[in-house]
Structure 1
Amino acid sequence: MNIIATDAPSSKGLANMLEGYDCPAILVSVDYQILAINQHYRNEFGNTPLEQTSRCYEVSHDYTVPCDEAGEDCPLSAVLQSGHKERVLHIHQTPRGKEHVDVEMLPIFDDEGELLFFVELLRTISMASPENINNKLVGASRRFNQMLEKVTRVSQNDVSVLLLGESGSGKELVATAVHQGSQRSKGSLVTLECAGLTDSLFESELFGHVKGSFTGANNNRTGLVELANGGTLFLDEIGDVPLSMQVKLLRLIETGSFRPVGSSIIKHSNFRLICATHKNLFQMVKSGEFRQDLYYRINVFPIYVPSLRERQEDLPLLIIALLKRISEGKEYYLTDSALQLLRRYDFPGNIRELSNILNRAVILSDTNLIEPSTIQECLDIDRELGQYNDNSLQIDDSGLASGRSNGTEWVDLKTAESRYLADLMAFYEGDKEKVASVAGISLRSLYRKLES
Structure 2
Amino acid sequence: MQIIARDTDQGIARMLDGYEYPAILVTAEYRILATNELYRKTFGEIEPGDGARCYQVSHGYDRPCDQAGEDCPLAAAQASGQKERVLHIHQTPRGKEHVDVELLPIRDEQDRLKYFVELLKPVPIASTTSSMQALTGSSPAFNKMLELISRVGPSEASVVLLGESGTGKELAAHALHQISPRADKPLVTLECSGLTETLFESELFGHIKGAFTGANYTRQGLAEAVDGGTFFLDEVGDIPYPLQVKLLRLIETGTYRPVGSSQIKRTDFRLICATHKNLWQMVEEGSFREDLYYRINLFPIHVPPLDERVEDIPQIAQSLLEQLSGAKKYHLTQSAMRQLSRHRYKGNIRELKNILSCATVLANTNVIDHSIIGDCLEIHRSSQRMSEAPLDLKSMERNYLQRLMRVYDNDKKRVAEVAGISVRSLYRKLQETLESEESSGVLLNK
TM-score (norm 2): 0.86
CA distance in 1, matches of 2:324, 2:396: 34
The one-letter code sitting in structure 2 at the alignment partner of 1:107 is P
Q: Is the 8 A contact 1:338 1:370 kept in 2?
A: yes
Deviation at 1:403, TM superposition (A): 5.6
* Bigger mean CA deviation after superposition, 143-152 or 128-137: 128-137
CA distance in 2, matches of 1:210, 1:21: 52
Match of 1:250 in 2: 248
CA distance in 1, matches of 2:419, 2:49: 61
Post-superposition CA distance 1:274-297 (Å, at most 9, x none): 000000000000011000000000
- Residue ranges of structure 2 left out of the alignment (5+ in a row): 1-6, 402-416, 422-446
* Bigger mean CA deviation after superposition, 89-98 or 139-148: 89-98
Post-superposition CA distance 1:149-199 (Å, at most 9, x none): 000000111010000000000000000000000000000000000011111
Match of 2:92 in 1: 94
The one-letter code sitting in structure 2 at the alignment partner of 1:163 is L
Q: Does 1:198 align with 2:193?
A: no
Post-superposition CA distance 1:400-425 (Å, at most 9, x none): x546489x6999xxxxxxxxxxx999
- Count of residue pairs brought into register by the alignment: 400
Post-superposition CA distance 1:341-373 (Å, at most 9, x none): 222211000001111111110111011221222
CA distance in 2, matches of 1:405, 1:131: 39
Q: Does 1:297 align with 2:265?
A: no
Q: Is the 8 A contact 1:392 1:405 kept in 2?
A: no
CA distance in 2, matches of 1:182, 1:165: 22
Match of 2:438 in 1: none
Q: Does 1:332 align with 2:333?
A: no
CA distance in 2, matches of 1:311, 1:127: 18
SS in 2 for 1:163: strand
SS in 1 for 2:224: helix
Q: Is the 8 A contact 2:137 2:316 kept in 1?
A: yes
SS in 2 for 1:235: strand
Deviation at 1:385, TM superposition (A): 2.1
Deviation at 1:125, TM superposition (A): 0.6
Matches within 5 A, 1:406-445: none
Cα pair distance change 1:389/1:30, threshold 3 Å: closer
CA distance in 2, matches of 1:424, 1:186: 43
Match of 2:131 in 1: 133
CA distance in 1, matches of 2:128, 2:362: 29
Match of residue 368, structure 1, among 358, 366, 373 = 366
The one-letter code sitting in structure 2 at the alignment partner of 1:114 is R
Match of 1:62 in 2: 60
Deviation at 1:85, TM superposition (A): 1.3
Match of 2:238 in 1: 240
The one-letter code sitting in structure 2 at the alignment partner of 1:315 is I
Cα pair distance change 1:219/1:425, threshold 3 Å: farther
Q: Does 1:228 align with 2:217?
A: no
Q: Is the 8 A contact 1:26 1:41 kept in 2?
A: yes
TM-score (norm 1): 0.85
* Bigger mean CA deviation after superposition, 99-108 or 34-43: 34-43
The one-letter code sitting in structure 1 at the alignment partner of 2:92 is T
CA distance in 1, matches of 2:42, 2:338: 37
Matches within 5 A, 1:114-193: 114-131=112-129, 133-193=131-191
SS in 2 for 1:49: coil
Match of residue 267, structure 1, among 257, 262, 265 = 265
Match of 2:69 in 1: 71
Match of residue 284, structure 2, among 283, 286, 290 = 286
Q: Is the 8 A contact 2:193 2:235 kept in 1?
A: yes
Q: Is the 8 A contact 2:206 2:219 kept in 1?
A: yes
Q: Is the 8 A contact 2:361 2:418 kept in 1?
A: no
Deviation at 1:222, TM superposition (A): 0.7
Match of 1:13 in 2: 11
Q: Is the 8 A contact 1:233 1:274 kept in 2?
A: yes
Post-superposition CA distance 1:112-159 (Å, at most 9, x none): 222111100111010111115243300000110000000000011101
The one-letter code sitting in structure 2 at the alignment partner of 1:181 is I
Match of 1:416 in 2: none
Match of residue 313, structure 1, among 296, 311, 314 = 311
The share of aligned pairs that are identical, in percent, is 56
**4+ residue segments displaced more than 3 Å:** 401-406, 408-411, 423-427
* Bigger mean CA deviation after superposition, 377-386 or 283-292: 377-386
Deviation at 1:336, TM superposition (A): 2.1
Match of 1:355 in 2: 353
Match of 2:274 in 1: 276
Q: Does 1:345 align with 2:373?
A: no
Matches within 5 A, 1:210-221: 210-221=208-219
Match of 1:438 in 2: none
Match of 2:79 in 1: 81
CA distance in 1, matches of 2:384, 2:281: 29
CA distance in 2, matches of 1:405, 1:43: 59
SS in 2 for 1:65: coil
Post-superposition CA distance 1:87-119 (Å, at most 9, x none): 000111112221110000111111222211110
Cα pair distance change 1:392/1:271, threshold 3 Å: closer
- C-alpha root-mean-square deviation of aligned residues, in Å? 2.2
Q: Is the 8 A contact 2:124 2:134 kept in 1?
A: no
CA distance in 2, matches of 1:65, 1:404: 62
Q: Is the 8 A contact 1:392 1:403 kept in 2?
A: no
SS in 2 for 1:346: coil
